[in-house]
């Protein structure tokens, strides 16, 4: 698994007093990629690991909640990319948070089923939708979307890296 670490405050492990784990899915269907869009913030389907939940359980739950697609265990492989953010005084002063984001590849033939989605209140307020982009155009589209919301400046580089890793490994 490839890893990327952002540690601008030069925090050591002993400085960390909060850990958040997120799971993200690159869902590929018919040479298209599914991307979540809420308030012009683009991200892969996924979310926070809940207490007592395994990574696979989290992935299956989040993908079902956001896309209506139920994943079989056979569709889930090991994560291929991990991004870690070490943030000082985040989200408040005195909290030094380690955010670990694990990216999974899901290649599926299943369709989005909006009737099975269970969006959070925050996703509903953001008018969260799943968009389908041709895989060959996804990186350009993600770059073009960056100016539409400042949050994209943080998320987009990791999305682009994950797609690039997938495409490079697919060609091997």
Reported as a pLDDT band with limits 50, 70 and 90, residue 169 is confident
Residues 77-94, mean pLDDT to the nearest whole number: 96
Q: Which domain holds residue 141?
A: 2-170
d(CA 47, CA 24): 7
- Judged by DSSP in three states, 32 sits in strand
Q: How many domains does the chain fold into?
A: 1
Backbone angles phi, psi at 160, to 5 degrees: -65, -40
Please give the sequence-ordered ranges of beta strands (E in DSSP) within 30-96, or none if there are none: 32-38, 41-43, 46-48, 81-87
What does pTM read for this prediction?
0.94
CATH of the domain at 71: 3.90.79.10
C-alpha distance across the termini of the chain, in Å: 16
Predicted confidence (pLDDT) per residue in 128-149, tens digit: 999 999 999 999 999 999 999 9
Distance CA 128, CA 40 (A): 9
Whole-angstrom distance, CA of residue 149 vs CA of residue 7: 23
């Amino acid at each position: 698994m490839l890893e990327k670490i952002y540690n601008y405050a030069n925090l050591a492990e002993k400085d960390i007093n909060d850990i958040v784990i997120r799971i993200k899915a690159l869902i590929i269907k018919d040479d298209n990629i599914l991307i979540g869009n809420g308030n012009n913030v683009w991200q892969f389907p996924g979310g926070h690991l809940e207490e007592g939940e395994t990574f696979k359980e989290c992935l299956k739950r989040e993908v079902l909640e956001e896309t209506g697609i139920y994943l079989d265990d056979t569709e889930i492989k090991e994560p291929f990319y991990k991004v870690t953010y070490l943030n000082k005084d985040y989200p408040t002063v005195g909290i030094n948070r380690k955010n670990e984001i694990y990216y999974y590849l899901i290649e599926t033939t299943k369709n989005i089923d909006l009737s099975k989605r269970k969006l959070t209140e925050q996703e509903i307020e953001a008018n969260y939708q799943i968009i389908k982009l041709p895989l060959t155009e996804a990186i350009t589209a993600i770059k073009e979307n960056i100016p539409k919301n400042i949050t994209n400046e943080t998320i987009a580089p990791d999305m682009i890296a994950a797609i690039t890793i997938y495409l490079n490994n697919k060609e091997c």
